[in-house]
Amino acid sequence: MDANLKKLLDTCRTSIVDGKQNPENDWKLFTVSNITKDGLPNSRYVVLRDANFTEKAEITFYTDSRSGKFEEFQKSPHASLCFFDRHVGLQLVMNASVSLYNQDKTAEDYWQKTPWRSLQCYYMKEKPGETLKTPFVLNPNELSEDQAYQFFTVVKCTIHSWDILLLTKTGNERASCEFNSHGEFKKAAWIAP
Ligand SMILES: Cc1cc2nc3c(=O)[nH]c(=O)nc-3n(C[C@H](O)[C@H](O)[C@H](O)COP(=O)(O)O)c2cc1C
């Protein structure tokens, strides 16, 4: 593989893994797009909770099992993830298959190791998207930990490919690559932006 291409792929891999623990990293937040039950696209921001690009290519975020995307992913387990580092001018789009973990060992492990401030949104008796008479105010005492935990869902995205766009003054660079089942790069190439 071309040395500069390898360097770009390695930079993306290092940065995405750093993003899971570094709130200053722009890749801590990303958009997830999927297809709704009406067959239309829908996107929203989520927080990067885990990233593994050594033994497998996998991105993890959390969601509420009552949110629209939970049922949508059950019906159509495919997603496009989009990250943008505005400091470097680097966009990374990932094509993924989605698996949901709710009230199982995986969900329990993440629940236990996640700080309360990141879990308090699950202590909400209202269903996400429900119509309210007044603006929402979180009252976490309304639900017990067991009740909140029921809604907590770990979403694991198995990454199949990357599409990278690096903005440069001399003409933007674009590259693509696929992953094998061990999370290794395969079929990497420069492509036209
Ligand atoms: C900065 C930011 C971070 C967010 N993080 C998450 C998240 O990690 N998980 C999540 O389900 N929703 C998160 N949300 C809310 C979603 O963007 C979305 O509004 C919500 O999940 C409902 O989506 P849905 O109705 O399409 O399922 C976040 C929103 C913002 C603005």
Q: How remote is the CA of residue 46 from the centroid of ligand 1, in Å?
A: 5
The pLDDT of residue 153: 98
Q: What distance in angstroms lies between residue 48's CA and the mean position of ligand 1's atoms?
A: 11
Helices (H) and strands (E) in the chain, counts: 5, 9
pLDDT of residue 1: 81
Q: Is the pTM of this model over 0.75?
A: yes
For the segment(s) 3-191, the CATH number from 1.10.600.10, 2.30.110.10, 3.40.50.460, 1.10.357.10 is 2.30.110.10
Q: What is the pLDDT of residue 84?
A: 96
CA angle 83, 86, 89 (to 5 degrees): 85
Query: Which of these, 38, 69, 67, lies nearest to 129 by C-alpha position?
Result: 67
pLDDT at residue 88 in the model: 92
| Structure confidence at residue 140 (pLDDT) | 85
Q: Distance between CA 46 and CA 60 in Å, rounded?
A: 10
Half-sphere exposure of 175 (CA within 13 A, CB side): 23
Choose which residue among 31, 34, 43, 45 to substitute to test ligand 1 binding: the one with the highest number of ligand atoms within 8 A of its C-beta: 45
Dist CA 68 CA 72 (whole Å) = 6
For the chain, give the number of residues. 193
Q: Is 170 exposed, middle or buried (0-12, 13-18, 19+ CB in 10 A)?
A: exposed
Extended strands (E) in 29-111:
29-35, 41-47, 50-53, 57-64, 78-85, 90-102
Residues of the chain where predicted confidence (pLDDT) is lower than 50: none
CA distance 132 to 106: 33
CA end-to-end span of the chain: 19
Task: Kindly give the distance from the C-alpha atom of residue 61 to the centroid of ligand 1, in angstroms, as a whole number.
Answer: 10
33 touches ligand 1 (CB under 6 Å): no
What is the position in ligand 1's atom list of the atom closest to the CA of 129? 25
Which pLDDT score, from 0 to 100, does residue 40 have?
A: 95
